[in-house]
Amino acid sequence: MARYLGPKVKLSRRVGVPIVDTPKHTAKRQLTAPGMHGFRGRRQKEYGIRKDEKQKLRYHYGVLERQFRRYLAEAGRRPGNTGELLLQLLERRLDNMVRRAGFTRTVWASRQMVVHGHVLVNGRKVDRPSYSLSVGDVVTLRPGIHTLVRENMESLAGHSVPGWIVLDPSELTAKITATPTSDQIPFDCNTNLIVELYR
C-alpha cells in the first residue's frame, strides 16, 4: 500500500495550519507556504479552498485519498450529518485513539506502535491502524512498551484526554465510553466544505 514518506512539516506548510501539535509544526515560520519565500501566488478559487480543507483532515489523520473517500461514502450512507459522521469515523480509528489517549505524540508514532503489535483491543492483538473502535472497547498495551509510553506521557504533561476516552495512567489502559462529538475534536476543520467538494 502506498504511503507518504516525505518530510511531515512540509504537509503543515502546504495547508497553512499545523497538522500535529508539536513544536516543529506549530513554529511560526513553519506556517508559511513551501519554498524559500513562502510565495502563495494568486488568490485561491472555491475548489482550492475546499481541497485544502480536505487535505488538512487527511494529513491530520494520516489517511490516503482512496481510504478517505471510503470513509466519506460510509458517512453518507448513515443517517445524520455527513460531516460529523465523517469526523466520528476518523476519530474512532485505533491509531488516532492511541494518540488521543496520550500514549504517543503523533499519529505516525501511534500507527507504528499499532503495526508492530504493541496494542491490544479487549485483550486481543490488533495490528491494523484503521481498526474501528466501538463504545465499550478497552485498549491496553503490551508490557514491553510501557517504559516508552510513560516517557511519552511525561513529555506530554499538558495533554488533555477527550471526554469520550477514560484513561487509567497507572495500568496504561483506555476505554471508549461514548461516541466522539465534533466539539471534542481538537482539530479545527470545516466539514461542510469537504462534503461539498465531493458532490
Residues 159-190 have pLDDT tens digits of: 788 889 999 988 899 999 998 887 887 777 88
pLDDT of 128 reads 94
Q: Indicate if 130 and 155 belong to the same structural domain.
A: yes
59 belongs to a structural domain: yes
Identify the CATH number of the domain in which residue 22 sits: 1.10.1050.10
Determine the Cα–Cα distance for residues 60 and 55; give it in Å rounded to an integer. 8
Confidence of residue 66 (pLDDT cuts 50, 70, 90): very high
30 belongs to a structural domain: yes
Q: Indicate if 52 and 111 belong to the same structural domain.
A: no
CA–centroid distance for 148 within its chain:
21
Rounded average pLDDT over 139-150: 92
Q: Indicate if 134 and 150 belong to the same structural domain.
A: yes
Of 19-33, 56-70, 157-171, 173-187, give the range with the top mean pLDDT: 56-70
Determine the Cα–Cα distance for residues 152 and 163; give it in Å rounded to an integer. 20
**Partners of 167 in beta bridges:** 174
Q: Indicate if 98 and 174 belong to the same structural domain.
A: yes
CB 166 within 8 A of CB 177: yes
Residue 121's closest CA among 151, 113, 150?
113
Number of domains into which the chain is organized: 2
Determine the Cα–Cα distance for residues 86 and 17; give it in Å rounded to an integer. 20
Q: Indicate if 139 and 155 belong to the same structural domain.
A: yes
pLDDT of 10 reads 81
| Half-sphere exposure of residue 96: CA atoms within 13 angstroms, side-chain side | 25
Confidence of residue 38 (pLDDT cuts 50, 70, 90): low
How many residues make up the chain in this entry?
Answer: 199
183 belongs to a structural domain: no
Q: Indicate if 124 and 152 belong to the same structural domain.
A: yes
- Write out the residue range of the structural domain in which residue 99 sits: 93-178
**Mean pLDDT of all residues in the chain?**
85
